[in-house]
């Protein structure tokens, strides 16, 4: 009997073999013959990952044409990762010059464009006229919105800020799918979508954000996703916080949340609906020229404590980062902090925390008085990371000797105050203003040896 060839194998066997190949091999196999192409194409479409920046545009128009012609392939899409965050702007030193133009690209395939227009017209969206106009002008927002409509089995979505510079149509699709009770539009409800990252602007210090429009109307819709588990978003909150529906969401499956830019009061509104949250990363933000009801020059620890109380019975891992941006003023603005004592004590399930030192002991050892760094923490804490994220603030008066002294007190009596403590990590920034001398680092390690406790020290390079 002549030996069997690969092509003589049943389709199930071919699919198993194809699943072992990497993405690059999938593309090559597609060109072998039609039978192998039929086996590999669904795998090729299951994971979409593109980069979009000043030097390259993704093949999104051609891909959308394929999906419209082949709905069976659209059903196979599980992951969409659309990367790019250079803002289409230029840098002047450490500052970015904002680009007022929409993120647009040229479409060479008129046939594909007309097929997309026809699909949108059949959908019957109230935004059809604007949507079609944006398609014809090559606005990325219109193409991404259509891609989301065509992917009912989507499980993971990542949108970099270049894809969301103008996100009104993406937001409209989310509203129609998740909040339109009339069901007049035949649009899937993203019932399988479990993980979303949607970055509307860069969050680094000294990087201006897009301040012309607030994105809360679009972003808050994501909390209504029926199966959402992990969510990472930056959020421009308007002057009054409101959910985009008559009823607040109930994301019972949401266990991991990263929030950028928002402040303590809106944080409380959001955490009040996250009844199952286990991991929270909160990046609070201040920029002088954006100051309003929520964005002020003082972090209110009382409001932070109240916000976190909503997740006190579920939260296990907490990270808090505080940053300031220059805005129109070349000097970094001042950011104050009300007295921090006891802010985290009510988080009874908390095991891991990473915070800047002032959240535990204020901006100066004098703020602590007779208190202790661990006084802000729950007894059951296991892993603590302390950073110097707010080191550039004028109020910062912590010296390396002060930190070493307070850590020594803590570790000496840890069996009484934090009996479950297993690890301590100190992250200090090396910069022109100073750094920990080698002898201080040796003293820190000696402290760990003396107390029979491992202390990790990271002297990271400054990144302005």
What would the pLDDT profile of 236-255 be if each residue is shown by its tens digit?
Answer: 766 778 899 999 999 999 99
Rounded CA-CA distance 62/248 in Å is 39
Q: What does the pLDDT read at residue 212?
A: 41
Q: Mean pLDDT, to the nearest integer, of 23-34?
A: 59
**Encoding tokens for residue 71?**
């709905």
Q: What is the pLDDT of residues 54-69, one digit of tens each?
A: 888 888 998 999 999 9
What are the two backbone dihedrals, phi and then psi, of residue 28, each rounded to the nearest 5 degrees?
-65, -40
**Would you list the domain boundaries of the chain?**
8-46, 52-238+248-254, 280-464
**Encoding tokens for residue 218?**
């679009």
Q: What is the pLDDT of residues 115-151, one digit of tens each?
A: 999 999 999 899 999 999 999 999 999 999 999 999 9
Q: What does the pLDDT read at residue 33?
A: 60
Q: What is the pLDDT of residues 198-240, one digit of tens each?
A: 986 544 433 444 444 457 878 899 999 999 999 999 887 667 7
Rounded CA-CA distance 309/64 in Å is 45
Q: Over pLDDT 90: what percentage of the chain?
A: 42
Q: Which of 303, 236, 231 is nearest to 274 (CA)?
A: 231
CB-based burial label for 111 (10 Å; 0-12, 13-18, 19+): exposed
Rounded CA-CA distance 241/259 in Å is 15
Q: What does the pLDDT read at residue 423?
A: 92
- Listed in sequence order, the residues at least 6 apart from 133 whose beta carbon sits closer than 8 Å to its beta carbon are none
Mean pLDDT of the chain: 82
**Encoding tokens for residue 47?**
């994971």
Q: What does the pLDDT read at residue 22?
A: 63
Q: Which of 282, 274, 234 is nearest to 255 (CA)?
A: 274
Residue 411 has pLDDT above 80, yes or no: yes
**pLDDT: is 157 or 168 the higher one?**
157
Residue showing tokens 């804490």: 381
Angle, alpha carbons 151-103-133 (nearest 5°): 70
Residue 206 β-bridge partners: none
Rounded CA-CA distance 204/463 in Å is 10
Q: What does the pLDDT read at residue 426?
A: 92
Q: What is the pLDDT of residues 372-402, one digit of tens each?
A: 888 889 999 999 999 998 888 888 898 888 9
**Ordered alpha helix ranges (H), 309-374:** 358-361, 365-368
Rounded CA-CA distance 235/326 in Å is 19
Determine how many CB atoms are found less than 10 A away from the CB of residue 448: 16
Residue 326 has pLDDT above 60, yes or no: yes
Rounded CA-CA distance 38/29 in Å is 10
Rounded CA-CA distance 55/62 in Å is 19
Q: What is the pLDDT of residues 413-449, one digit of tens each?
A: 888 989 999 999 999 887 555 567 788 888 888 888 8
What are the two backbone dihedrals, phi and then psi, of residue 55, each rounded to the nearest 5 degrees?
-100, -15
Stated pTM of the model: 0.86
Q: What does the pLDDT read at residue 298?
A: 81
Query: Among 256-265, 337-346, 402-411, which is the least confidently predicted range?
Result: 337-346
């Amino acid at each position: 009997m002549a030996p069997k060839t690969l092509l003589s194998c049943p389709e199930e066997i071919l699919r198993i073999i194809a699943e072992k190949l990497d993405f690059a091999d999938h593309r090559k196999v597609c060109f072998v013959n039609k039978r192998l192409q039929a086996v590999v194409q669904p795998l090729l479409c299951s994971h979409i990952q593109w980069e979009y920046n000043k030097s390259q545009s993704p093949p999104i128009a051609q891909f959308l044409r394929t999906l419209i012609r082949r709905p069976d392939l659209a059903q196979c899409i599980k992951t969409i990762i659309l990367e790019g965050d250079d803002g289409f702007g230029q840098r002047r030193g450490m500052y970015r010059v904002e680009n007022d133009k929409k993120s647009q690209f040229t479409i060479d395939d008129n046939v594909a464009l007309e097929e997309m227009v026809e699909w949108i017209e059949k959908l019957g969206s109230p935004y059809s006229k604007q949507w079609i106009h944006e398609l014809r002008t090559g606005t990325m927002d219109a193409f991404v919105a259509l891609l989301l409509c065509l992917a009912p089995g989507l499980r993971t979505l990542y949108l970099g800020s270049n894809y969301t510079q103008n996100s009104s149509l993406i937001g409209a699709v989310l509203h129609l799918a998740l909040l339109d009770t009339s069901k007049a539009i035949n649009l899937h409800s993203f019932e399988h979508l479990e993980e979303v990252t949607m970055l509307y602007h860069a969050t680094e210090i000294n990087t201006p954000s897009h301040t012309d429009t607030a994105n809360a109307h679009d972003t808050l819709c994501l909390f209504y996703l029926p199966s959402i588990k992990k969510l990472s978003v930056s959020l421009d909150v308007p002057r009054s916080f409101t959910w985009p529906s008559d009823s607040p969401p109930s994301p019972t499956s949401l266990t991991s949340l990263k929030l950028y830019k928002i402040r303590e009061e809106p944080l409380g509104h959001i955490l009040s609906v996250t009844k199952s949250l286990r991991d929270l990363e909160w990046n609070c933000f201040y920029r002088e020229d954006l100051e309003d009801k929520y964005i002020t020059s003082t972090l209110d620890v009382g409001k932070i404590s109240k916000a976190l109380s909503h997740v006190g019975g579920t939260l296990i891992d907490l990270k808090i980062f505080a940053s300031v941006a220059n805005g129109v003023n070349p000097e970094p603005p001042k950011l104050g902090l009300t007295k921090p004592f006891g802010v985290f004590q009510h988080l009874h399930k908390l095991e891991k925390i990473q915070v800047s030192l002032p959240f535990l002991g204020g901006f100066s050892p004098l703020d602590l008085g007779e208190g202790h760094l661990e006084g802000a923490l729950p007894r059951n804490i296991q892993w603590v990371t302390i950073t110097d994220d707010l080191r550039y603030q004028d109020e910062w008066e912590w010296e390396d000797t002060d930190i070493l002294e307070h850590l020594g007190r803590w570790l000496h009596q840890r069996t009484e105050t934090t009996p479950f403590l297993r690890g301590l990590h100190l992250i200090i920034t090396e910069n022109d203003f100073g750094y920990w001398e080698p002898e201080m680092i040796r003293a820190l390690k000696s402290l760990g040896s003396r107390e029979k406790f491992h202390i990790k020290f990271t002297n990271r390079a400054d990144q302005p």
